[in-house]
Chain A
Amino acid sequence: MDNAISFKLKIWRQASPQEKGRFETYELRDIPTDTSFLEALDILNEQLIEKGEEPVAFDHDCREGICGMCSLYINGHPHGPATGATTCQLYVRRFRDGETITVEPWRSAAFPVIKDLMVNRNALDQIQQAGGYVSFNTGGAQDANAIPISKVDADEAMDSASCIGCGACVAACKNGSAMLFVAAKVSQFALLPQGKPEAKRRVKAMLAKMDELGFGNCTNTGACAAECPKNIKLSNISRLNREFVSAKCRD
């Protein structure tokens, strides 16, 4: 086939959280370049099942880049070499014929491996539960245009809200810090009047939860923002720091 390549996949296999993992190398032949990377893994799993072997466990759901379920650290990059895209938006045409592609799970103390390439990202949900929401009284929703919000703030809040919580920022960070995730979740409310009443409580609770769960300290390398599939900006982290310091100073 003209538009097909053959490559090796060096994949992290780990039977359970307790057991020690290791790399296994598999070969895939004549895969059309228009195949998505996750489909290539599906093909591999079909072959493994046919041979009576255990298929590779990996996270995936919507396969259109909006759910935040897929992960994978491919050739040294979370979500692979493409920028501004999730693993499910990555295609085989990104790789060369005969290449060995290394696929690893997210590595962070706060994200323990469940099996193979699947990690437990529940820690991010716990941070959200600590304060990543706004409280509303019951009743009909207010008219959207009743509260004037500047276009700049609305756009900025929307950009921050595009975080899908996949954890690529934690995976990319040499410190295993979740600051970009927390910064995006704090920013989406900090910029809007609806988020203001609970702003101080929110930023303190979310950061305290982040520290408690064993995420690292941010050193502003910027790897998180560079690898984020949703292009969440590094300036969110500065906003988070600003919100936190001003909340602490007013205590």
Chain B
Amino acid sequence: MWLTNSSVGRKIVMSVTGLFLVLFVTFHALMNLVALFGFKYYEAICEFLGANWYALVGTLVLAAGFVIHICYAFWLTLQNRSARGDDRYAVSARPKGVSWASQNMLVLGLIVVCFMVLHLIQFWANMQLPEIAGKTAMKGVQALATAFGPQWWYITLPVYLLGFAALWFHISHGFWSAFQTLGTAGDKWIPRWKCAAMWWATIVFLLFAVEAVYFTLHFNGIINC
């Protein structure tokens, strides 16, 4: 199977799952945005998804996307390290035009995974998981109030902002790199995809960051709207 046996095939798997995850985080940020217009709308989305069959199928597909992307990341990195050889360069310099993010994708991905663990404990483990198990689940707004409220905000907010920052760097390279791997880039399109990657990463970062800060301020009673 060329998607596992060949280097380009493996990169294709990385790019397709990566783009899928980019779409997911974008939808996620947009759905959170609803809360800024009124928590009752946010609750409506939580009710709509819950543990319905389509939400469960969606969760499984999403989990598969994450697992494949992460497994391939480790697999490719191990291969790349052994291809580099045992002797490392004593002096190495990052050439002009090579982004820092592009050389640290695994570390950036790991930071995002660390953030995700906390995020899943705070939300998924209180909302969809008990519902699947047939227990009483927390309401969406209630989970938000716990995570961003007086008791936890000083842990939640810094970890989330760090996770979003890592995600910005990760997408700023991953987005255009995916299109390059899929063979849809050329001399004209490489700068265009790079520009689109910057915009996309920045918009996603700003949406998430504004939402997290808003929730913190709201659930600590600093703003009341």
* Residues of chain A having any CB pair with chain B under 8 Å: 10, 21, 23, 73, 75-77, 102, 104, 107-111, 113, 172, 174-177, 179, 207-208, 210-211, 214-223, 226-227, 233-235, 237-246, 248
Contacts and interface: CB of A to CB of B under 8 A. Distances in A.
Contacts of A215: 7, 83
B136 interface: no
B37 interface: no
Contacts of A217: 7, 10-11, 76, 79-80, 83
B83 A109 contact: yes
A208 B6 contact: yes
A28 B43 CA distance: 74
13 contacts: A76-B89, A108-B84, A175-B83, A217-B76, A219-B105, A223-B94, A223-B98, A226-B95, A234-B180, A234-B190, A235-B190, A239-B186, A245-B182
A220 B183 contact: no
A38 to B, nearest CB: 19
Contacts of A219: 11, 76, 80, 102, 105, 177
Contacts, number: 145
Contacts of A220: 102, 173, 176-177, 180-181
A182 to B, nearest CB: 10
Q: Which 9 A-B pairs have the closest CB atoms?
A: A242-B183, A216-B83, A76-B93, A176-B83, A175-B80, A226-B95, A216-B80, A238-B185, A241-B183
Contacts of B89: 73, 76, 104, 107
Given A214-B83, A238-B190, A241-B180, A172 B90 contact: no
Contacts of B79: 216-217
B85 interface: yes
Given A176-B85, A177-B7, 7 more contacts: A23-B90, A208-B6, A221-B103, A222-B95, A222-B97, A226-B97, A245-B183
B135 interface: no
A216 B10 CA distance: 11
B190 A221 contact: no
A237 B180 CA distance: 8
Contacts of B2: 248
A187 to B, nearest CB: 11
Interface in B85-141: 85-99, 102-103, 105
A174 B84 contact: yes
Nearest to B10: A217
Contacts of A216: 7, 79-80, 83-84
A107 B98 contact: no
Contact of A76 (B12, B82, B92): B92
A75 to B, nearest CB: 6
A119 B36 CA distance: 61
Contacts of B10: 217
A177 B187 contact: no
Contacts of B102: 219-222
B185 to A, nearest CB: 4
Contacts of B12: 241, 245
A233 B187 contact: yes
